[in-house]
Copies of this chain bind each other. A is one copy, B any other.
Amino acid sequence: MRLLCVLFALALASSAQTSSLPPTNLMPVPVSLQFGTGQLLIHESFSAALTGPHDEQLQHAAQNFFAVLSRKTGILLDNKFSDPAKASLVIHTEQPAKQVQELGEDESYSLEVKTSGAQLSAPTGLGAMRGLQTFLQLVRPTADGFAAPVVTIHDKPRFPWRGLMIDVSRHFIPLDVLKRNLDGMAAVKMNVFHWHLSDNQGFRIESKRFPKLYEMGSDGHYYSQDEVRSLIAYARDRGIRVVPEFDMPGHSTAWFAGYPELASAPGPYQIERKWGVFDPAMDPTQERSYKFLDEFIGEMAKLFPDRFFHIGGDEVNGKQWDANPKIQEFKRTHGLKSNQDLQAYFNKRVQQIVTKHKKIMIGWDEILDPDLPKDIVIQSWRGQQSLAVAARQGYRGLLSYGYYIDLMWPAWRHYAVDPMADAAAALSPEESQRILGGEACMWSEYVSPENIDSRIWPRTAAIAERLWSPQEVQDINSMYQRLATMSGELDWLGLTHNSNYEPMLRRIAGTTDIAPVRTLADVVEPVKDYTREETAPAVPTSATPLNRLVDAARPESDTARNFTNLVNSFVSGQSTTPETKSQIRSALIRWRDSQTHLQTMLDRSFLLKEVAPVSQDLAAISAVALTAMDYMESGQRPPDAWTTQQRALLEQAAKQKAQLLLMVVSPLQKLIEASAVPHPPPVSN
């Protein structure tokens, strides 16, 4: 029996139609797709052929494609290349991708799947790589075997720069962890890995010219130049550019551990262990700083083939500059009125060095200055307004505001951020072209190699879709459905966002009996935005273990979101079937009773003990919500005093404890408020 596939043409002209997305798992959603009837079965005999000019990277990408298809299906398919006449999948390109991948290279592709075979066509090898990822996502088990549905897809990215930044300074992230994250990026068609290689807390790359940078600035946790080359090659095989960032003149304490003479105040310096904005900054007034940077940037420019070079440039507090008479004197003699002017002078000097080494400079918002040439790129953590201002002045820009994945926002909130929205919406077509795209940013104060994947994935896939898919693709329910599927797909790449959850919970529980801690963990989220430090039991440092429930809990609770949707449809009267009520009740009973179980385990583990109050809150408000359900079902109103009392309880439960937020407070509040209205909502029996 063949699955009946629906015929569907995605109408992009009208955003009103996007809620009727086709039944596809594809993420990001392609520009156009049209399903036909039937499917292409994937057997042991599946093979592929590459036609068109030789393209080594595409060849590697096709090998990776076979490896992932094998893992996904469990069918042994090792590099089964055959001649085009016999191949199940023919991949045709017109020209190879550039040896060194460039910004704006054509990434478009067309994919036609028929029952007899599939054809992937792309102007460049880069487009073919994107199409291979689409094909992988199309393959699913069916009643007849693994298969891709008959479909015609035409696709290309909305923005040419779709990046992920990983900060490897605050916590070192080993090469293999980065590599699996590059696989995740490729799966969702991201194309820039922005490698934040230095900061106050660590200098993470070997410099042969200035070895003390990593010898004294990394605690031994750095990447050798061979490792860097291997990562760049790995990224290139996945159609991903690698842009290094060396933050300067601030965020640079780790440089000074080895080279205090670069700083604006005398040393000695040690690697910073805490989080925040710190005083040390390079001395922009001395020529030896520029000589050093010229040699250092020259060395790095040779190592990193990409055209772009990120110099950071953010958050200089100016204290060292203010305290240094020589620097004050320099400002006076050079007519520099403010520290901002002084930094602009520094940026201009650095920009000249970067240009000398044939690179284009990128920096954060603060580097924007009309004196700098128009080819530089501004990466904005401040918002679309900054980008619009820059674009009007002729500068290109990238949005990262709204894409800070360390802030523990839910996926829908990142998904709602559009580089072309707000101030950027008013740009002229020419100015709009200067908005290159955006980057998700993984700042690493609170991530370790163990939990970083769970902070990046699956939420980053929503950002990747925002940057690839047409602007009209906005349906949040569809996004969440596809995100759940995508999360499972990412498992096949070795990402650990799912697999590390239970081991971390087992560590917390101190036993293999993790049921009650899992029940709790499933409905909490870490505190949001920048509140993690202020709510911490002790001042956090880079040595603070990241082994608590706040480190294991997912940034977004699927359980809580689904329960909230259930309650919303119940209290709105949309769904009041016995099944809905039974689902709500059984969740409430589980939460209420789990506490009893957890309570018996508390003495086993200090990591469990700290979350006991959260578990108590969950049990208490679940019990109250059950009573509210009873009131509603009996058609009676609770006494006002009861409702008032429960509101106070909810208010307490909504407060962070152990740096965790109980994400079901809001739906439980809705149940309690619904029970208190004069006329209870319609209740069917």
* Interchain CB contact (< 8 A) of A74 among B71, B450, B609: B450
**B498 and A603 contact, CB distance less than 8 A:** no
Select A606's contact among B142, B508, B512, B604, beta carbons within 8 Å.
B142
| A143 partner, pick from B488, B512, B605, beta carbons under 8 A | B605
The interface residues of chain B lying within 8 Å CB-to-CB of A502 are 498
> Is A607 an interface residue, CB under 8 A from the partner?
yes
A635 at the interface (CB under 8 A from B): no
Are A141 and B74 in touch, CB under 8 angstroms? Answer: no
- State which of B220, B488, B510 has its C-beta within 8 Å of the C-beta of A140: B510
Q: Mark A496-530, 1 if CB is under 8 A from B, else 0.
A: 00110011101110101000000000000000000
- A residues 202-237 with Cβ under 8 Å of B? 219-221
Instruction: Kindly list chain B residues whose C-beta atoms are within 8 Å of the C-beta of A484.
Output: 512
What class of interface size applies to chain A in its complex with B?
35 or more
> Hey, what's the 0/1 contact readout for A598-621 against B, CB within 8 Å counting as 1?
000011111111000000000000
In the assembled complex, the CB of A665 is this many whole angstroms from the nearest CB of chain B, namely 26
- Shortest CB-to-CB span from A613 to chain B, Å, is 16
State whether A503 touches B491 (Cβ < 8 A): yes
Count chain B CB atoms within 10 A of each CB in A75, A485, A491, A545 and give the residue with the most: A545
Chain B residue numbers with a CB within 8 Å of A506 are 488, 491
Chain B residue numbers with a CB within 8 Å of A485 are 512
A543, CB-defined interface residue at 8 Å: yes
| Residues from chain B with Cβ under 8 Å of A487 in the complex | 512
Residues of chain A in range 61-76 having any CB-CB distance to chain B below 8 Å: 71-76
Cross-chain contact of A488 among B488, B512, B545 (Cβ < 8 A): B512
Question: A547 at interface (Cβ–Cβ under 8 A)?
Answer: yes
Please judge, given known A-B contacts A220-B78, A512-B487, A545-B44, whether A72 and B507 are in contact too, CB under 8 Å.
Answer: yes
- Determine if A551 is an interface residue (Cβ-Cβ < 8 Å): yes
Q: Report if A551-B143 is in contact (Cβ < 8 Å); known contacts: A488-B512, A543-B44.
A: no
Q: Does A159 contact B (CB under 8 A)?
A: no
Asked whether any CB of chain B lies closer than 8 Å to the CB of A492, the reply is: yes
For residue A322, CB closer than 8 A to chain B, the reply is no
Q: Is the CB of A141 within 8 A of B498?
A: no
- Shortest distance between the CB of A446 and any CB in chain B (Å): 12
Across-interface contacts of A607 in B (CB, < 8 A) = 141
Complexed CA–CA distance, A609 and B1 (Å):
13
Contact partner, A141, options B3, B141, B503, B605, Cβ 8 Å: B605
Asked if A683 is at the interface (CB within 8 A of a chain B CB), the reply is no
A609 to B499 CA separation, bound complex (whole angstroms)? 26
Report the bound CA distance from A603 to B144 in whole Å. 9
Q: Residue A53 at the B interface, CB < 8 A? A: no
CB of A420 closer than 8 Å to a CB of B = no
Tell me the bound Cα distance from A220 to B75 in angstroms.
Answer: 17
Known: A503-B491, A606-B144. A74 touches B510 (CB 8 A): no
A448 CB within 8 Å of chain B: yes
Task: Point out the residues of chain B lying under 8 angstroms from A221, CB to CB.
Answer: 78
Chain A window 73-91, contacts with chain B (Cβ cutoff 8 Å), 1 for yes, 0 for no: 1111010000000000000
Q: Which of A76, A219, A506, A602 has the most CB of B within 10 A?
A: A76
Enumerate chain B residues within 8 angstroms of A78, measured Cβ to Cβ.
Answer: 219-221
A545 touches B74 (CB 8 A): yes
Given A220-B78, A502-B498, A510-B141; A73-B606 close (CB under 8 Å): no
If A484-B512, A485-B512 touch, whether A547 touches B74 (CB-CB below 8 Å) is: yes
Q: A74-B507, A488-B506 known; 15 other A-B pairs, CB under 8 Å?
A: A72-B507, A73-B545, A73-B547, A74-B545, A74-B547, A75-B547, A140-B510, A141-B608, A142-B605, A142-B606, A143-B604, A143-B605, A143-B606, A488-B512, A499-B499
A-B contact pairs, 21 of them (CB 8 A): A1-B603, A72-B507, A73-B545, A74-B507, A74-B545, A74-B546, A75-B547, A140-B510, A141-B508, A141-B604, A141-B605, A141-B608, A142-B604, A142-B605, A143-B602, A143-B604, A143-B609, A144-B606, A488-B512, A492-B503, A499-B503
User: 10 closest pairs, A vs B, by CB?
Assistant: A74-B547, A141-B605, A141-B510, A499-B499, A75-B545, A491-B503, A74-B545, A44-B543, A484-B512, A143-B603
